[in-house]
Chains A and B, each alone.
Chain A
Amino acid sequence: MSTVLDYRYLAPSALLPDGGTSRLALATSGGATPAGAAAHPYFFSGFVAHPAVVATALLAVARVARTRFYVPPNMLAAVLRAADPVVTSTPEGLRFESFSACCGVYARLDVDPGALDIYHCASGVTNVDVNPPLRQALAGVHGNEQLLLGVGDEKLQVTTAGGSVVEEKVPLPGRWLKGFAETQHACAGMRLRHMLDAAAARQFIQSLPRQSATKAVMWAVPALRSLRLASRPAPGAVCVAGPERLRALEPLLRLATGLRAYGPEIAADALPAASAWVLDLPGGRLTLALSPEKSRGFSGEGGVLRGLAGGTVAEDAELIGTLLSFEPRIDIPRLALASAFTARRVTDALGVLASSGQVGFDLAADAYFHRPLPLAPEVLAGMHPRLADAHALADAGAVQAGGAPGHWRVRSGELHHDVRLGEGGAPDRCTCPWFAQYRDTRGPCKHVLAARIVAQGSGA
């Protein structure tokens, strides 16, 4: 499955001298607002308190989008036309997001409202153009100049009402989109594990290897002075697969005030897991999320599938989706009240919305934020082929109850697989090769999902 992102900008983004001020005019293409879809929304205008931070961080976000951190064997590292960053505007600031071409690294720059002197602000989400001349201009921004940032342009909307002047189609694999969405769900399961001050952060990032083997997975653990990369997991460790990918933060180190590492709970025998690294900057922060392996994107995580396979979580998500309106921090108790769901059901529903590109997760705030990716709705549909396969098995009557409670026998092609559904937090198990290889690290296999669907339907 391939996705074609269709960008249509009214003008190229540019950094323009405007008297004694520089005006960073970011052109917009497509998007969503509380009032509905918009072709070229105008979301924001205002001065930024830390021009060098915003310029350098925006370059870093754009660089992640353009980078293949992993090039599969037999594939040339071609210069790619990458997806443009996505910006979300709310009264609580701006968020610029990008996702690498290899589907393994996610970047987000959050600019706090305190670092913005806002003239105009409207809520919504859109794509913004970051072209080579703009990158060149951003590289020249220095700390003591005045920078007026615009996301969209009201005047341009009027003067070029006839159509767009910059059009580009960017074909991307379906897994890119799926991974972009799945990253948010992965981040929601992470907790703060390590904090470093600026000097220690510099020391740690600069000591990372510049290249590593395809399957290189290391684990950040506390050392006497800073963090070190251990070869084995341990409780409290944060997985760093392909450690050189974290060097994407390097250009920002001179501006950083600290670094925080987030990851899921890790046991001594844990398999590689996703991690997120938040570089604190004056007036904002840059988040970098890394997939569990360099050669493996976020799209294979499947973490949300269990929730989708049974119960009413899909329907819950649909309802919760209608209650959202670009909240910079989604208030779960408020949503629970509005939907008459329990907080747990709201959280599960948000997980589903995250994996379908409707909400993002802010690790620093430990909260979801509403951000429907500016893509055609049909592109977002059908992002869970494994779940579709499981439904097909269930619908075909391929799932039979086993001899004991929680035991199921699933026919898949000519073969049967024995599934044991775990109760009370115990893991599910299946005898298929996929499960033997990945255990529970990439979400359940289709046989477990099918068994859950049938079990849910039968009330077993």
Chain B
Amino acid sequence: MTGQDLTLDQRRDHLRRALKAGGDAARHGEQAHPSRLRQAMKAGSDEAVALLRTALAGATEDERKLLAKTLPPSRWFKEEGPTLRACFAFAALGSPKHVVEAVFPIDSRKALALSSAADTIRQGIVEGLRDRDESCLYAFLDVLAEDGWVMQELCWRIARDLIAARGLRPASPSYLRRFVQVVSGGCEDGGAMQKKPGEAIAQALLADADLLAHEFPQLFRVEGMGGDYFLTDWNADAWDGALLILCERLPDFRGTLLRESLDALLRDFSAKNITWYLRVHRLLDPTPEEIAHLAPRYCAVLSAQPSTSVGLAQDMLLRGAKAGVIGDAEALIDASGAVLLRTEKKLLKAQLAILAALAAHPARRPTIGALVEGVRDALPPDLQGVADKLVAASGTARAAAPVAVAGEPVAVPPPRRVPLPAFTDGATPITDDEMFAALAAAQLEGVGDGADLPRILAWWAAHPSTVVDAALLRRAQEIVNDVWDSDNLSPRRHLAALLLARAGGAPKLEFRGYRRHVYVHPGQADPQGAEVEDRTSTSHSYDPDSGQWRATETHHYRSGYQFVPTHTPAGLLAEQFRAQPVQAPLPHHPRAWERVLGAPGEGTYSRELEILGNGPRAFWRIPGESAPHAPASMAERAFDVSPVQAEYTFRAQEAREQDGYEQIVQWAAWLLRDHPATLAAQFHPTLYTATAVVNVRGVGTLLAALGASRLVPQGPEYSALALGLSAKEAAHRAQAAEAVAALAASGLLDPEPFAAEIGAHLAEGFVMAGRVAQALADAASIHALSGYRVLQILAALLPHLDGVTGAAKLVELAARLSADYGTPIALPDALAGKAKGGSVMAVALRALAAVNAGPTDLARQAGAQARATHDPHDPQAPR
């Protein structure tokens, strides 16, 4: 009977015999030791392996799993160490992951002990695995590549032995990454990271024909390898050198490399994963003949998604076009259409240059002219001139642009100078316990409106008999216990505590002020009011001999927190849960504002907010007003903006991290509904934060509240809107645009002071011109009057744009709106000198200067809407 025909029981019997053979050498439960290992390796291993081989011949993977229960190979390996038979059995019966974890451990001490038996391990593992299913072998190679990095050299030899023995063709990203690392010489045994020079890499590849024929081409075909760190960064220069050496020494290598690196760009890999292919192709610097040969592939790359791919193809095609070697120019012209509809200006410019080079041949001009004519209007203004030349060269007459009717521009009335009628409170009072429970439950889930909190609190206070059901109470308990709220400012935690209080289980939540971290050096006195504790910190260093971390220095100090008293809106809201809640927005009274530049107060940002920096910011205050004396009323504290500057860092941090911040802003917006300027001033730190980072909460609520104002906006509101127009998140910019459009619709938006604020923020570097232009364009698209007011804002802004980075975007928008509304804008002196040349700014300024006056439909609509804002009953008033 051959091994192939054995039953499972017969196989088990063989395994037991193999276990007995040479068992004397095993040392149960002891660490592998070189001397013992040598003993174990000598005794009976050959006999045992022969028995194992017989036992396992032809066994399926399922049978091996069952046999592994008879002879747990991992236990055997652990007890006996790396003997030939233990390695063989483990490799033949174990799962790839278990084998790799045990035989090639990450622990460097264990690995060191095992490495003395490297040859035995190699032989046992390869022989044990040799007859297993291919899927198991591929899985083993993957795990080995992923986890076998401490004994990389041995692992790699085993991998190559197995591949050769079974004719495998591994192409997983894990295996290929290991291949690159081994060839690059990184992370070799012993842990030292070293780079190989190009010659060494070339030699490594030349020494193994299989590697060059199989593994190397896979680097271009498997997604992820084009972004491999060793190829693109760590050892990139050496790989460059190696490829050039290989090109010299192997006759067809260069051609293959050119094709592969180009084909890789067509496989729809992400931009990150094509970095190396671009590098390789540029490194080879194709000759005009090669470009001519590869031209169809370059044309295909023009349709690729990553702009870097398109850029490479353009560079090559431009060289080919200039050298006159592009065979199928029609195909290139056809492929150009895909590029000309993209938005990256660099690509558009390059493609027009290619077409211009092709147009040197008169027969191609009509096709080129027709193509360019079709996309001309979608091109950026400064490229339209280039396009026009190509169209003109084709002999095609450009379709004449519709001529605006000349005449006087439509007169659009100015904004209102008086407030709109006051708000009428539309909040429905709570009518029963069920409605209360639904509103409270929404608050607990963090989806309720903070403006509902006053009526929730009022109902609760007025109905001592209201019973909250057990489910809601349990949820309240969860909220109190589980929501992270280190400052005790979360409205839903306070609400939860309130609900629990009536049931007799009230936790104490107290907001004591913003927490400032303090650090007291030895010998220093504790700051007043600080709560600090003795602390010890110890530095450690790793001792490679013992494999242990050792304490090297111990440092004693005192640190803790100092509570900064504040009456921030968040704190005022927290107070509402303990005091008589405010039941109506604070009534309006006029206040004059002053803009000051100042450094934010002391505080510590989290890492993500460090980008905000400590440079000066614009703050708003009431001239001559100081902080109210205690005990101040709720209204006095809500109006007080004097601490905003000092509390800037805390408030910025709060906007990112505080649970329930959205509800806090909603409540503040309700409370200060008739004081939008105060609201804007209080939340300036939030808006500054939104210009620099994403995920700032409450911004939409704040901007919507400013847009819904019934009062004539003042400096703080315009300043807040300007910051909103430059928010980092597109959604916040859209909210700012909507707020601007809403104010325009109600007739309250005054372009002059708004432009002054935008200009000031631009000059101070707080807002970015490109973002502002994009958001203003968005606002202009909402309704005709909004567009007209944006045009007026831009007109007022132009004199402040000299020297502002990205100002051309604003001028471009001004030129477009100026034409749309038939309302020319005079070029300010500061910019008039920049209207010459081919820069974006120059082209935009010339376009602006060329606008003729005349009535347009948009201007008529804007005029009608503006008139309606002075008469709220006019049906044409924008809604």
Contacts and interface: CB of A to CB of B under 8 A. Distances in A.
Interface of A: 56, 59, 62-63, 66, 79, 132-133, 135-136, 139-140, 142-144, 199, 202-203, 206, 209, 212-214, 216-218, 223-226, 228-232, 243, 250-251, 253-254, 414-418, 429, 431-433, 435-437
Contacts of A133: 221, 267
B296 interface: yes
Given A218-B731, A431-B471, A433-B471, 11 more contacts: A139-B266, A139-B300, A199-B378, A203-B378, A212-B730, A229-B730, A232-B738, A418-B469, A431-B469, A433-B444, A436-B444
Given A213-B729, A224-B787, A253-B341, A63 B471 contact: no
Contacts of B378: 199, 202-203
B445 A216 contact: no
Nearest to A227: B781
Nearest to B780: A224
B163 interface: no
Interface stretch (B331-339, B606-614, B831-839): B331-339
A418 B471 CA distance: 10
Interface stretch (B385-393, B435-443, B803-811): B435-443
B224 interface: yes
A140 to B, nearest CB: 4
> Considering residues B267, B337, B444, which has the most beta carbons from chain A within 10 angstroms of its beta carbon?
B267
> Considering residues A144, A206, A231, which has the most beta carbons from chain B within 10 angstroms of its beta carbon?
A231
Interface in B625-684: none
A135 B730 contact: no
B662 to A, nearest CB: 11
Please give me the 7 A-B residue pairs with the lowest Cβ-Cβ distance, nearest first: A436-B441, A209-B730, A140-B300, A223-B781, A437-B445, A139-B266, A136-B266
Contacts of B224: 79
15 contacts: A135-B268, A140-B296, A203-B378, A212-B730, A212-B731, A213-B694, A213-B731, A216-B731, A218-B731, A224-B781, A229-B730, A254-B337, A414-B470, A416-B470, A431-B469
Nearest to B779: A228
A361 to B, nearest CB: 28
B445 A433 contact: yes
A230 B775 CA distance: 11
Nearest to B446: A437
A436 B438 contact: yes
> Considering residues B173, B299, B437, B438, which has the most beta carbons from chain A within 10 angstroms of its beta carbon?
B438
Contacts of B341: 202, 253-254
A225 B783 CA distance: 10
A79 B173 contact: yes
B734 A231 contact: yes
A436 B334 contact: no
B704 interface: yes
A59 B268 contact: yes
A414 B474 CA distance: 10
Contacts of B300: 139-140, 142
A142 B781 contact: no
Interface of chain B, main secondary structure: helix
A238 to B, nearest CB: 15
A441 to B, nearest CB: 11
Nearest to B820: A224
Interface in B212-250: 221, 223-224
B305 interface: yes
Nearest to B782: A223
Contacts of B700: 231-232
Contacts of A216: 729-731
A363 to B, nearest CB: 25
B604 interface: no
A230 B173 contact: no
B268 A230 contact: no
Contacts of B738: 230-232
Nearest to A66: B268
B471 A432 contact: yes
Contacts of B335: 142
Contacts of B778: 228
Nearest to A412: B471
A206 B343 CA distance: 7
A240 to B, nearest CB: 10
Contacts of B438: 429, 431, 436
B241 to A, nearest CB: 28
B599 interface: no
Interface in B740-786: 778, 780-784
Nearest to B694: A213
Contacts of A417: 471
B266 A140 contact: yes
B472 interface: yes
Given A140-B296, A228-B778, A415 B266 contact: no
Interface in B701-741: 704, 729-731, 734-735, 738
A14 B666 CA distance: 58
B416 to A, nearest CB: 23
Contact of B268 (A63, A226, A433): A63
A57 to B, nearest CB: 13
B297 to A, nearest CB: 7
B304 interface: yes
Interface in B63-89: none
Contacts of B437: 431
A436 B447 contact: yes
B858 to A, nearest CB: 7
Contacts of B123: none
Contacts of A251: 303, 305
A139 B731 contact: no
A209 B731 CA distance: 9
A224 B267 contact: no
B734 A218 contact: yes
Interface in B302-338: 303-305, 331, 334-335, 337-338
Contacts of B299: 142
Contacts of B4: none
A270 B863 CA distance: 33
B31 interface: no
A437 B447 contact: yes
B153 interface: no
A28 to B, nearest CB: 21
Contacts of A223: 781-782
B730 A415 contact: no
Nearest to A415: B471
Contacts of B266: 135-136, 139-140
Contacts of A62: 268
Contact of B334 (A144, A203, A206): A144
A406 B300 CA distance: 64
B445 A436 contact: yes
Nearest to A253: B341
A251 B447 CA distance: 38
> Considering residues A144, A214, A250, A415, which has the most beta carbons from chain B within 10 angstroms of its beta carbon?
A415
A212 B729 contact: yes
B189 interface: no
Nearest to B699: A231
A217 B475 CA distance: 28
A62 B296 CA distance: 23
Contact of A416 (B471, B704, B781): B471
A206 B774 CA distance: 13
Contacts of B444: 433, 436
Given A415-B470, A431-B472, A136 B447 contact: no
B487 interface: no
Given A136-B267, A436-B441, A231 B731 contact: yes
A153 B788 CA distance: 62
Contacts of A139: 266-268, 300-301, 303-304
A213 B699 CA distance: 13
A140 B297 contact: yes
Contacts of A132: 221, 223, 267-268
A414 B470 CA distance: 9
A30 to B, nearest CB: 20
Nearest to B730: A209
